Homo-oligomer: A and B are copies of this chain.
Amino acid sequence: MATMTDPLDPIVVAKDFPLLNRRDRERPLVYLDSAASSQHPSAVLDAMDRYYETTHANVHRGVYALAEEATTQFEAARTNVGRFVNAPRPATEIIFTKNATEAINLVAQSWGRRFMKAGDAILLTIMEHHANLVPWQMLAAEKGLELRYLDVDDSGYLDLSNLDRLMNGTKLVGITLTSNVLGTIVDQDRGLPAIIEAARSAGAVVLADGSQYVPHSPTDVRALGCDFLAFTGHKMLGPTGIGVLWGREDRLDAMPPFLGGGEMISDVRLDGFTPTELPWKFEAGTPPIAEAIGLSAAVDYLRGIGMERVRAHERELCAYAIRTLGARYGGDLRIFGPTDPDARSGVLSLALDDVHPHDVAQVLDEAGVCVRAGHHCAKPLMRRLGVAATARASVYVYNTEADIDALADALEAAASLFARH
């Protein structure tokens, strides 16, 4: 019997994923796009179906048994998700949003509008996803704030040499824990403590974008030391339509509401309203109930595997991919980001000489290999790397070395099709 110390066996895991097991396809599917969105184990789909088929009713304020059970399951999902990231107060500090993007907008609009004033600076990094850029740009334009960026060096690591200078006058730091293009990891073991410490001295709060981190590594908000953590359900085996904001209770308590409506009030009069307590203060309207229950099932599934094993598996696959692709293509294939598998996630952005990333993805698709081509919602980083787009392969719990081999073979087909003679 497999135990938690054995390495994860992706072939066994993949059996739980209906989409990966369909026999009605012309060719087997090699899904290497989990950084865009992951697939779903039956346990997640079943949890949502079970909810809809046995328990559904609107949550909160319902007296009847069905509504009470729905509320219990929804709030239990919240606590479960909170425990997954080791939130000190999972029942109050976890806000369900529609995606990570909304979670970041919530902080920008609620915390940012209340606590920042003209001339204050926001420190981001050049490798942020648009989700952690545009909300701050909107806020900066509205309030006259300054935007500053940490650069990346040519190996794909954050350049922290100017940290103290950049932190001077900074009120908020927004930083991704894992780049969705370079794979670079920034966490309590790699670079984050210096940023957190500098932010503390400057009196700045730190929002961590965990969209590419929480699905792939054991996550502990206490160890990370940030004030806010945003992540998204559909990249961690969960459904679409749900994201998560974790925030330190005192921060969240001090913030004004974000969206207005039902659930988030304790009283409404004709001339105004009184917001209610955490976490509901930030959840206006009917929440994503089934989605929360699905995400909770995803968290259970991941916990069942063990996040340490998830991380170890992806580290090995990433190392294998770098070795294999390097051996086969050498200089003709550029792999962006750190070469040290300890410092990077299983996201591999590739550039094949003379072949456009969209053509790469197109040819790969013909071989059943799904990779994403484009700017990956990280246009500033693309400019910094000097490319318009990359082809990006990314792995998860169900991917195997055979998938990497299929990727390597298909890249060869692309290279030979387009080679300028």
Contacts and interface: CB of A to CB of B under 8 A. Distances in A.
A314 interface: no
Contacts of A22: 53-54
A139 B396 CA distance: 43
Contacts of A273: 130, 133-134, 137
A285 B241 contact: no
Given A19-B54, A239-B290, A64 B284 contact: no
A393 B239 CA distance: 32
B133 A259 contact: no
A262 B130 contact: yes
Nearest to A70: B37
A63 B362 contact: yes
Interface string A91-110: 00000011111101100100
Given A130-B268, A141-B272, A147-B271, A259 B101 contact: yes
A268 B379 contact: yes
A241 B238 CA distance: 13
B64 A241 contact: no
Interface size on A, as a range, is: 35 or more
A27 to B, nearest CB: 10
B64 A364 contact: yes
A65 interface: yes
A261 B101 contact: yes
A319 interface: no
Contact of A134 (B241, B243, B261): B261
Given A53-B18, A271-B147, A62 B134 contact: no
A133 B36 CA distance: 37
Contacts of A102: 98, 259, 284-285
Interface in A241-285: 241-243, 257, 259-265, 267-273, 284-285
A131 interface: yes
A217 interface: no
A243 B261 CA distance: 14
Interface string A139-158: 00100000101000000000
Contacts of A216: none
A98 B288 contact: yes
A201 to B, nearest CB: 25
A187 interface: no
A146 to B, nearest CB: 10
A131 B287 CA distance: 13
A176 to B, nearest CB: 13
B241 A291 contact: yes
A5 to B, nearest CB: 32
26 contacts: A18-B52, A19-B55, A22-B53, A29-B66, A33-B58, A37-B56, A40-B52, A40-B56, A49-B49, A63-B362, A64-B362, A64-B369, A64-B370, A97-B98, A98-B98, A105-B259, A108-B260, A129-B261, A129-B262, A130-B261, A130-B273, A133-B273, A137-B260, A243-B285, A269-B383, A291-B291
